[in-house]
Amino acid sequence: MTTYTARPIEPGVLKELRDVDDAGRACVPFVEGEGGSPLRCCLRRSERGERVALVSYAPLRRWAAWVGVDPGAYDEQGPVFVHAEECGGPGGGGRYPFARPGVLRAVRRYSGEGRILGGRLLDLPSTPDESLDAAFSEAFADPEVALVHVRAVEYGCFLYEVRRP
């Protein structure tokens, strides 16, 4: 079976977002009061007392610029939580972050030209990693799929990206 990797936001991009985000706004850090925010820099939940920031991020736009394509109207940006200062990145919890039984996830497929090719809604079962593995295998069985975005259904937030192995 193919192994898939949840990709955090790249360190160079994080550095930019901690200055000015993808909506052109200055980063405004705050101290996490209760914790639990999904951090896209290290792919874990925040802890009480950590300095974090909510920034606007355009994951498809940045990927498209990196590969030299124009995502057109599929370019979108949305809020993501990141540590306010550089962190150590993912520390190795589960294979797929923010996955627990009973949560809904959308797995959105994109072509090499940055166009949406469809997606899948997942109601994660008692074995969430297996369900996500199956969804990624299904997505990448289509040779047109270059990457997928995993999103939280309740807010539509981007959680992480998985690229073709």
Domain regions of the chain by residue span: 11-83, 104-163
Residue whose pair of structure tokens reads 């007392």 in the numeric block: 49
> Six-digit token pair at 98?
């923010």
pTM over 0.85: yes
At 1-14, the pLDDT tens digits run 688 999 999 999 99
| DSSP conformation letters of 88-109 | ------SSSTT--TT-EEEEEE
Find the mean pLDDT for residues 29-38: 96
- Cross-sheet strand order for the sheet of 44-45: 30-31, 51-57, 78-83, 38-39, 44-45
The pLDDT of residue 141 is 96
3-state helix, strand, coil split of the chain in percent (to 5) is: 20, 30, 50
Those residues whose C-beta lies under 8 Å from the C-beta of residue 128, and which sit 6 or more positions away, are 96, 99, 100, 101, 103
Confidence of residue 60 (pLDDT cuts 50, 70, 90): very high
**Nearest-angstrom CA–CA distance, 159 and 87:** 17
* CA 80 to centroid of chain Cα atoms: 9
Whether 97 and 44 have beta carbons less than 8 Å apart is answered as yes
What is the pLDDT confidence band of residue 92, given thresholds at 50, 70 and 90?
A: low
